[in-house]
Amino acid sequence: MAATTARPSVVPKKDLESFQEHLNKSTRILALLGAGLSASSGLPTFRGAGGLWRTHDATSLATPEAFGRDPGLVWQFYSYRRHMALGVKPNPAHYALAELARKKNFLTLSQNVDGLSPRARHPADKLKLLHGSLFDVKCSDFFCDYLEKNNYTDPIVPTLAIPTDESDPTTNSALAARELDISDENVAIPELDYDHLPKCPKCKRGLLRPGVVWFNERLPSDVLEDVDTWMDEDDIDLIMVIGTSAKVYPAAGYVDIARRKGARVAVINMDKGDAPASGLYSRDWFFEGDAAQIVPELLKSVIGETNTEELSDAAQ
C-alpha cells in the first residue's frame, strides 16, 4: 500500500503494541463484522440511533412474516437501503480488512448486506456473507429456486423509485436533487400491491424478494459449510469483532467457537457495553471508537498505511 503521512493514534499505545505483537505472529485470523463497520460510510445501524426507518423498527421489517403481510412496505424499505448503499463508499476499515485478507490466512464473516466489503475488493473466497446481500434477489415462492446475484438496478422496478418533489420547479433537470428522503416521515410511501412489485422472471408467479437472511430463516448452507471447514482446519489465533452488537445468532456464536479454538478476542466498537455475550477475558482487547479509524491503525503493522484516496471502489 502507498505510504502516507501517519495519522494521530486513536488507540492507547500499550493496547496497540500488545495487539500488534499478537497480530504479527498470528497465522489464522477471523473477523466478525457488523453494521457499525459501515456507519462512518453513512449507513445506519440496526439497533440504537438510526435503527428506525420511519416509524418502523428496522429489525421488525427483516422477517418473512413482514414480507408476507406487506411486501410493498418491505420492498420500499429494501429499495431505499439499496439506493443508500449505492450512494456511499467503502471506508478505510473495509479497505484495510481487504488488504489483511491478501496478506494473511484471514477469514471474514460479515453480517453486512451493504456490498461495501466486495466493493473494497475484499477477496471473495475470504469473505463469507452470512446474511446475504441487498444486491441479490430471489423468488419468494417456496417451489421456485430463482436467484440473481449482483443486481444493482436502482430502483429495481420503476414503481419503487424514490418519490420526487414535483412541486419544486428547480429540480426537473437534476435527478439527485429531486429525490426525497423516504425515511422522512413527511414523505408519503405509496401503497404497492402485487402488480407493482418485482416478479420472478423464471416462474412468472412469485414475487421477487431481497436475497438477505431474515429472522427465523436459515443462513446459506454453502456459506456455513465453508466457515465450518475453515474453522475445523486448525486452531485460531485471533478473532476481531468489529462494529456489531453481537446479539444475533448463529453469527454471534462464532466468537465463542473461535475462543474455544484458542483465539484471543479484540472488540472494536463505539459502545463499551457491546461486548460479546461471553464477556471479555483478561487477554482480550476492547478498542472503543469508530471502526473506520481504529481498524486501519490496528492492522498497520501487517498492511502498512491505508490510503483510500489511491484505492478504487469496485463499483466504479
Quick one: CA torsion of 285, 288, 294, 300, rounded to 10 degrees?
A: -20
Q: How far is CA 286 from CA 11, 13, 106, 134, 224, in A?
A: 10, 13, 20, 30, 27
Q: What is the largest CA-CA distance in the chain?
A: 64
Residue from 74, 195, 67 nearest 141 by CA: 67
- Assess contact for 114 and 43: CB atoms under 8 A: yes
Does the annotation count 56 as an active-site position?
no
User: Cβ 213 to ligand BJW, closest distance in Å?
Assistant: 4
> Which C-beta is closer to ligand BJW: that of 51 or that of 304?
51
Q: Which residue has 477469514 as its cell numbers?
A: 107
Which stretches of the chain bind ligand BJW, using CB under 6 A? 34-36, 39-40, 45-47, 51, 59, 62, 111, 113, 131, 212-218, 243-245, 247-250, 268-271, 274, 290-291
User: Cβ 254 to ligand BJW, closest distance in Å?
Assistant: 12
- Assess contact for 74 and 67: CB atoms under 8 A: yes
Query: Hey, what's the cell of 199?
Result: 416478479
Kindly provide the b/e burial profile for residues 65-82, where b requires at least 16 CB atoms within 10 angstroms of the residue's own CB: ebbeebbbbbbbbbbbbb
> Which C-beta is closer to ligand BJW: that of 270 or that of 280?
270
> Which C-beta is closer to ligand BJW: that of 34 or that of 71?
34
User: Cβ 218 to ligand BJW, closest distance in Å?
Assistant: 4
Active-site choice (83, 94, 122, 131): 131
**Residues with Cβ within 8 Å of residue 222, at least 6 apart in sequence:** none
> Which C-beta is closer to ligand BJW: that of 136 or that of 274?
274
User: Cβ 63 to ligand BJW, closest distance in Å?
Assistant: 9
Q: Which residues belong to the active site?
A: 131
